């Protein structure tokens, strides 16, 4: 278990470094699609809404996790 704690951050850092080019390439594509369809209001609005949904899910999950931890700590004392 201790070796996993040392190994996992290294692997995640390597994945982030080597996947960076693919991740930034997608941003350019999204920007181009959003700019082209911003005049119509169709796909650009949907794209913005999708980004908000994707951004909100981690916050909701972390809030629920912290709430459960808070309740367990308070019920123990």
Total domains in the fold of the chain:
1
Full DSSP string of 18-74 = HHHHHHHHHHHHHHHHHHHHTTTSSHHHHHHHHHHHHHHHHHHHHHHHHHHHHHHHH
pLDDT digits (tens, 9 = 90+) for 17-66: 887 776 666 667 777 777 776 666 666 667 777 788 888 999 999 999 99
Per-residue pLDDT, 8: 87
pTM assigned to the model:
0.46
For residue 25, give its domain range.
Answer: 2-76
Per-residue pLDDT, 19: 77
The first and second tokens of residue 34, run together, are 């959003």
C-alpha R_g of the chain: 20
φ, ψ of residue 39 in degrees (nearest 5): -70, -35
């Amino acid at each position: 278990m201790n070796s996993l704690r040392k190994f996992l951050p290294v692997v995640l850092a390597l994945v982030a470094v080597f996947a960076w080019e693919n991740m930034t390439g997608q941003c350019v594509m999204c920007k181009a699609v959003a700019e082209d369809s911003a005049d119509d209001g169709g796909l650009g609005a949907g794209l913005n809404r999708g980004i908000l949904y994707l951004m909100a899910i981690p916050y909701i999950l972390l809030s629920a996790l912290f709430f459960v931890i808070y309740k367990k700590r308070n019920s123990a004392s």
